Amino acid sequence: MTDADVMALDAADPLRGFRDDFCLPEGLIYLDGNSLGPLTVAGRARLALVVEQEWGQSLIRGWNDHDWFGAPLRVGDRIAELVGADPGEVIVADSTSANLYKLAVAAMQARPGRKVVLSEPGDFPTDLYMLEGAIRTLGDGRRLELRPSSGIESALSPDVAVLVLCHAHYKTSAIRDMKRLTAAAHAVGALVIWDLSHSVGVLEVDLNGCEADLAVGCGYKYLNGGPGAPAFLFVARRHQDSLVSPLSGWMGHAAPFRFEDRYSPAGGIARFACGTPPVLGVSALECGVELSVRAGMPAIRAKAAALTELFISIVEAGPAAGLLELATPRDALSRGGHVSFRHPDGYAIVQALIARNVIGDFRDPDILRFGFSPLPLSFAQSARAAHILGEVVSSGDYDHPDYRRRAAVT
Ligand SMILES: *Cc1c(COP(=O)(O)O)cnc(C)c1O
């Protein structure tokens, strides 16, 4: 792959104009948009407007005058377009962790005789922690069973209330077959919750095409919603009136401003809201989501496949070839937007890369992870990062005490 080949990829990239929609420091190659998406130009302006005009001038009138009140459903409808859901099936609320809890309890209560929650070990731990908490809340002999992905289908039985899986794996980037696993769970009468945190905004997701029941996802990764952006949840229309959120807050009430003493759930997806929406966070998220809607998921997905392919091929043709082990599926359509390699000194290598202005991240015990957000990144950056990784690993330059010191957040 010559420099000219890489330039040709950028010249032919239909999404190249979107790079100007992000604020990124000059000279930095940011391969961590799967952990925290970069600031959007629109989000920066919008936050200033919401703070100075809407909050500053309108004050409490903003709930009506700027439709702060309608924002969770409005932005939810836009996210729905990205994940194959219909309007009214997605709401922006809370964190991914809290949303998983709400849906897990609601799903277990909808399958009262079944004692098992089935999931996979080794995926993003907050999901398993929240399932533990949900099971502790309901008690009654329920238990969490963990099976490696190859054993999920054989562990599905009439005792399974709900299957909880991540669509794309946070370490390996491997994609689970949403359609097949959903159908297998339905065949034994179980519900499925999909965590879309590592797929929304980078992969094509077709929730309704897969007859999905329930899903959650993250706002601050590929949706570029900002640090701690609110998350979202999906409930298929057919389940909305039979599932009830265990966090029955006033914003999910049928008539919140009647201030009644008794809880009565709203119709539709609104019942899965809990408290007052974080207006600043939803405003920034809306700007990130709009970019993905405008670019379109097929083009975004195609570019993610091409960026990751380029990166892997340059690393594997370079001086670090025998020193790094690819931990990500080789087939581009079987992986998400990030690429992981294994190396026993992974932490120090990632620190050495950061010192060279290439930001990726490290996941215990030995994973170097590089996220390829298709909208802010160019092919030239992907190629350059691969060359720098090759240099750092093959030279041993990472072997320095400064690069081994662990910070609180890795
Ligand atoms: C990022 C991520 C989360 C984030 O959860 P928070 O509640 O926002 O901290 C949850 N699940 C998965 C699979 C993730 O990748």
Per-residue pLDDT of the chain (410 residues; tens, 9 = 90+): 899 999 999 999 999 999 999 999 999 999 999 999 999 999 999 999 999 999 999 999 999 999 999 999 999 999 999 999 999 999 999 999 999 999 999 999 999 999 999 999 998 999 999 999 999 999 999 999 999 999 999 999 999 999 999 999 999 999 999 999 999 999 999 999 999 999 999 999 999 999 999 999 999 999 999 999 999 999 999 999 999 999 999 999 999 999 999 999 999 999 999 999 999 999 999 999 999 999 999 999 999 999 999 999 999 999 999 999 999 999 999 999 999 999 999 999 999 999 999 999 999 999 999 999 999 999 999 999 999 999 999 999 999 999 998 888 87
Q: Which structural domain range is residue 17 located in?
A: 3-30+296-404
Q: In terms of domains, do 160 and 89 share one?
A: yes
CA 87 to chain centroid, in Å, comes to 20
Task: Tell me, using a 6 A CB cutoff, whether residue 97 lines ligand 1.
Answer: yes
Residue 81 belongs to a domain = yes
Task: Tell me, using a 6 A CB cutoff, whether residue 96 lines ligand 1.
Answer: yes
Check: pTM over 0.85? Answer yes or no. yes
The CA-CA-CA angle for residues 383, 217, 101, to 5°, reads 145
**How many independent structural domains does the chain possess?**
2
CA–CA distance, 288 with 221 (Å, rounded to integer) = 10
Q: In terms of domains, do 249 and 107 share one?
A: yes
Specify the CATH number for the domain of residue 347.
3.90.1150.10
Q: Whose CA is nearest to atom 3 of ligand 1?
A: 96
Ligand 1 mean position, distance from CA 364 (Å) = 16
Task: Tell me, using a 6 A CB cutoff, whether residue 126 lines ligand 1.
Answer: yes
Q: Candidates 119, 197, 285, 340: which one to mutate for ligand 1, based on the most atoms within 8 Å of Cβ?
A: 197
Q: What tokens were used for 199?
A: 């797929």
Instruction: Return the half-sphere exposure (C-beta side, CA atoms, 13 A cut-off) of residue 246.
Output: 18
Ligand 1 mean position, distance from CA 32 (Å) = 15
Q: In terms of domains, do 273 and 326 share one?
A: no
Q: In terms of domains, do 172 and 284 share one?
A: yes
Q: Hey, CA dihedral for 75, 76, 79, 80, is it positive or negative?
A: negative
Q: 115, 99, 136, 364: which is closest to 233 by C-alpha?
A: 99
The minimum-distance atom of ligand 1 relative to the CA of 97 is 7
Query: Which residues belong to the active site?
Result: 124, 195, 220-221, 369
